Structure 1
Amino acid sequence: MKSPDVDKPITQESETNQTKNGFLALVSKMVFDETVPVRFMFKTVPEHLNDTGWRMYCGYETEEYLENELANMVPVPVKKMCQLDPSLTELVTYNAGTVWERTPGSDKWERVNDFRIPTPSVDVDITNDVDRFNIDPENTH
């Protein structure tokens, strides 16, 4: 059976109809400390109820800078970011998986299709060895 959506063209409406949650974006402190505009942004799956999933950068961040997210990224209301830069207003309506960039000196945003959005790495050790859990069957109540 063929899915009814297979033949439908991708439209802005189909890319902006995701359930909207949260109100915060994580924004590089360089945007504020260096007073440079957001030039690269993507939407990932939100990490908590207040998170929209948007991550915004100026484009000058190094790998080391990005690795220290707690120190170098700040939660900012998306509404405030749109007030500071009205060109973000339409873009922040897009669904998770969306990536945008603009070159220095340009106001025009372009869609990026070849960027792999980073995902949090979780160290999980899966085992079927019950003895590794140190379970005492007599103390399970």
Structure 2
Amino acid sequence: MELRGCRKNETIEPEYFFHPKLKDRQKQKKGDLVRLHFVLNHTSENDPRAERMWVEITEKKLFSHKYIGILTNQPTYINSLHAGDKIDFEPKHIGRIIIPKGDQRWLDSGEKMALVSNKCLEESACDRWLYRETPDREEDSGWRLFEGTETDKYNSDSSNIRIVNIYSLLDKDPSLITPLRGAPGTAFERENINSRWIRQDRWPVQLKQM
């Protein structure tokens, strides 16, 4: 696939991440926003393996289902790409679409952020405990996610907590759709990745005043 403005070591990764169904990716049209995943083949130990960025579709090629779009945000790690650059891509490269309200995958907090323990983001790790506070910022969903073995000392170190988009969490673990529908004040836990989420109604969360 040709990516205009990309170096040879930068490509869109088509299959590594969870993505929408093929029929949904093929139905995108001019003006829609889609997220693409650009793989970084030569990175340092602390750099991500891919950079996920939004592209606005400006043209859909007839018969081939191929798209042309404009990069809408400035890359952090890819120096050869810039906001406004033209991108050629196919439905298989779409990592995420804007989910319309009314869709069963839609969440009221989907585009907002959560505080997530670094332990949850480790390879082969899973979220085992999460709760929702009343957020005090517009961009905050109120969700706090943990792997379950964190200590108070670990959680008190801000470097051990990441700010992550809610829909990005669903990319990694679609089973989170169940607890993430919970209102502020709710909490859920499970034993492992294959276990059912259980709501903790007696969890003594202290809600912030609105």
For the pair 1:31 / 2:104, whether they are aligned, the reply is no
For the pair 1:98 / 2:191, whether they are aligned, the reply is no
Hey, what does 1:139 align to over in structure 2?
none
Letter in 2 for 1:48: R
Normalising by structure 1, we get a TM-score of 0.63
Please, which of 125, 133, 140 is the counterpart of residue 44 of structure 1?
A: 133
For the pair 1:58 / 2:147, whether they are aligned, the reply is yes
Shifted more, 103-112 versus 59-68: the winner is 103-112
Cα distance change, pair 119–62 in 1 and its aligned pair in 2 (3 A): farther
Hey, what does 1:107 align to over in structure 2?
195
SS at match of 1:92: helix
Normalising by structure 2, we get a TM-score of 0.44
Distance 1:85 1:118 in 2: 27
Hey, what does 1:83 align to over in structure 2?
171
Gaps of 5+ in 2: 1-107
The structure with more strand, counted as a fraction of residues: 2
Distance 2:113 2:175 in 1: 17
Matched-pair contact (CA < 8 Å) for 1:41–1:54: yes
Q: Shift of residue 63 of structure 1?
A: 1.2
SS at match of 2:178: helix
Distance 2:170 2:147 in 1: 15
Distance 1:63 1:119 in 2: 20
Deviations 1:40-69 (A, max 9, x none): 00000113111000000000101111122x
The structure with more helix, counted as a fraction of residues: 1
Moved over 4 A (4+): 19-22
Matched-pair contact (CA < 8 Å) for 1:21–1:49: no
Matched-pair contact (CA < 8 Å) for 1:26–1:54: yes
Which has the bigger relative contact order, CA under 8 A and spacing at least 6?
1
Q: Which has the larger radius of gyration?
A: 1
Hey, what does 1:14 align to over in structure 2?
none
Gaps of 5+ in 1: 1-18, 121-141
Hey, what does 2:159 align to over in structure 1?
71
Identity percentage of aligned residues: 27
When the two chains are superposed, the root-mean-square deviation of aligned CA atoms in Å is 2.2
